[in-house]
């Protein structure tokens, strides 16, 4: 289907700005690899793609020539799901914000990437910043915004610096861009916390109306992560039919994942172009090759993701729609391997303790519940728990789930409960007195953000 760029007498039929590449043959690709879409372009050794090179490769994108309603139709037809924890349909968010366009909407590119082991958004900002900024302009045109905020961590120095330089190249554009240094806390990337921070009241998650209705300074606010926004630039250029050639019917389009844990090159970002199993992905890439025997387990979706037993994980289809069918969300796209012989309970205790310290500290489930859950896991991992202690730990998770001002407590609970189920053999060993210390038997994921 084609779309007019403008309504009325000046309507012009939309055509792709450049001939799109053929449908991808490989299941995945790296930065600059064949068949990639988001990661297409120069190889990493070439550095970040400057505006002139970006436009020479993809063509100029003047979003003022597009009709906003038709842009929303294109996104709806694409079936784009947000490339974050919620996987919310992007077209629905655009429609909500656009319906309140008379109140001065704001577009926020959430590039904070609070997951310490995730690098997908950072890679886009480091190497393809203009693809992200193009997508932000598409979003702004779609919802009637003139202000765009890029919300990123200065601690990720390369990504932050590259975006600052890329914005300097676009100073004459139709939109007012601001680069904002996000607070260095896990929950500061939650949408309502972002709206609160931009309103000058600190990065505090809140309940009530969604930010798409009542966000930064009371204005309707569209918050999408850098990957989601970059997809908008591709859909606007080449159309939804081309974009849907990647992925599958349940979750169309390409998606980015970060490999972590016991793999040859932790931190590698890959673009999934068609459904592939976790085992197929890890076996097909040198950087993703498991460094030892078959993994004990795989953590999918991030620090607040889900542990999956090794054999089950290796057979699991790694696509947003397919993974969700098994009750496992791909979330931020983290695929982290726990080596055979490592203790999943000790590892989860370490992650739970870090997550307990990353809350906003404004409600009981975070201030009291999460530290208590971390205490219980640490006691279990060191072989000092009884069956009564284990029952108490399960009661704690039930009491914390679904409570609080944001989804952080429930996210931690999901991680912990999946660990207790996946590592049931280790749980029984710990109840018999076996001890594993997180400091000596750890999961090689960073628990401190690094640039």
Domains (range + CATH), the chain: 30-243 (3.40.50.11540), 255-338 (3.10.20.600), 344-431 (1.20.1440.230)
- Span 266-302, pLDDT tens digits: 899 999 998 888 998 888 655 455 555 678 899 999 9
Of 142, 135, 146, nearest to 99 (Cα)? 142
Q: For residue 5, give Cα distances in angstroms to 70, 106, 383.
A: 8, 23, 66
Between 420 and 26, the higher pLDDT residue? 420
User: What does the longest C-alpha to C-alpha distance in the chain come to?
Assistant: 79
Collapsing DSSP to helix, strand or coil, 28 comes out as strand
Per-residue confidence (pLDDT) for residue 284, from 0 to 100: 60
- pLDDT of 24 strictly over 50: no
- 163: tokens are 């975006």
- pLDDT of 15 strictly over 60: no
Q: For residue 373, give Cα distances in angstroms to 5, 194, 381, 404.
A: 54, 27, 12, 15
Mean pLDDT (whole number) for 305-334: 86
Per-residue confidence (pLDDT) for residue 400, from 0 to 100: 95
Enter the pTM of the model: 0.91
Mean pLDDT (whole number) for 76-101: 92
Neighbouring C-beta atoms of residue 47, cutoff 10 Å: 11
Which has the minimum average pLDDT: 274-278, 367-371, 426-430? Answer: 274-278
Of the chain, the end-to-end C-alpha distance in Å amounts to 43
- Span 184-196, pLDDT tens digits: 889 999 999 999 9
Of 54, 63, 77, 89, nearest to 239 (Cα)? 77
- pLDDT of 174 strictly over 90: no
Per-residue confidence (pLDDT) for residue 439, from 0 to 100: 45
Between 11 and 345, the higher pLDDT residue? 345
Give the CA-trace dihedral at 195, 225, 402, 428, to 10 degrees.
-140
Of 40, 72, 206, nearest to 143 (Cα)? 72
- Span 146-157, pLDDT tens digits: 999 999 999 889
Q: In whole angstroms, what is the distance from residue 127 CA to residue 162 CA?
A: 8
Q: Which helix (H) or strand (E) holds 308?
A: strand 306-309
**Which residues are CB-neighbours of 306 under 8 A, at least 6 positions away?**
299, 300, 327, 328, 329, 414, 415, 418
Mean pLDDT (whole number) for 48-57: 97
């Amino acid at each position: 289907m084609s779309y007019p760029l403008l309504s009325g007498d000046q309507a012009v039929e939309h055509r792709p700005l450049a001939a799109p590449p053929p449908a991808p043959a490989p299941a995945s690709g790296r930065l600059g690899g064949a068949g990639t879409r988001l990661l297409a372009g120069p190889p990493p050794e070439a550095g970040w793609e400057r505006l002139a090179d970006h436009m020479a490769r993809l063509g100029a994108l003047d979003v003022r020539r597009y009709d906003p309603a038709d842009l929303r139709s294109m996104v709806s037809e694409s079936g784009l799901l947000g490339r974050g924890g919620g996987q919310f349909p992007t077209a629905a968010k655009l429609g909500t914000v656009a319906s309140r366009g008379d109140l001065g909407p704001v577009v926020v590119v959430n590039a904070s990437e609070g997951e310490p082991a995730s690098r997908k958004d950072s890679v886009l900002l480091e190497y393809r910043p203009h693809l992200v900024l193009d997508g932000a302009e598409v979003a702004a045109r779609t919802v009637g915004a003139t202000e765009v905020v890029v919300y990123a961590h200065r601690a990720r120095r390369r990504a932050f610096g590259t975006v600052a330089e890329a914005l300097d190249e676009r100073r004459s554009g139709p939109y007012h861009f601001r680069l904002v240094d996000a607070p260095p806390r896990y929950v500061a990337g939650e949408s309502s916390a972002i709206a609160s921070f931009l309103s000058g009241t600190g990065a505090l998650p809140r309940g009530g109306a969604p930010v798409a209705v009542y966000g930064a300074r009371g204005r309707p606010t569209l918050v999408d992560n850098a990957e989601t926004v970059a997809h908008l630039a591709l859909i606007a250029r080449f159309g939804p039919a081309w974009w849907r050639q990647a992925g599958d019917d349940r979750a169309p389009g390409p998606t980015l994942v970060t490999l972590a844990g016991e793999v040859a090159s932790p931190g590698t970002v890959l673009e999934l172009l068609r459904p592939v199993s976790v085992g197929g992905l890890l076996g097909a890439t040198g950087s993703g090759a498991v460094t030892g025997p078959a993994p004990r387990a795989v953590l999918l979706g991030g620090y607040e993701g889900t542990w999956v037993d090794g054999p089950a994980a290796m057979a699991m289809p790694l696509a947003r729609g397919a993974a969700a069918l098994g009750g496992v969300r791909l979330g931020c796209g983290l695929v982290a391997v726990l080596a055979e012989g490592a203790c999943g309970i000790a590892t989860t205790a370490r992650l739970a303790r870090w997550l307990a310290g990353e809350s906003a500290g404004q409600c009981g489930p975070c201030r009291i519940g999460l530290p208590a859950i971390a205490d219980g896991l640490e006691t279990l991992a060191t072989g000092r728990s009884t069956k009564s202690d284990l029952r108490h730990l399960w009661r704690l998770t039930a009491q914390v789930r679904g409570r609080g001002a944001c989804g952080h407590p429930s996210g931690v609970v999901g991680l912990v409960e999946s660990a207790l189920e996946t590592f049931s053999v280790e749980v029984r060993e710990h109840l018999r007195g076996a001890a594993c210390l997180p400091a000596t038997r750890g999961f090689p994921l960073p628990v401190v953000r690094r640039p």
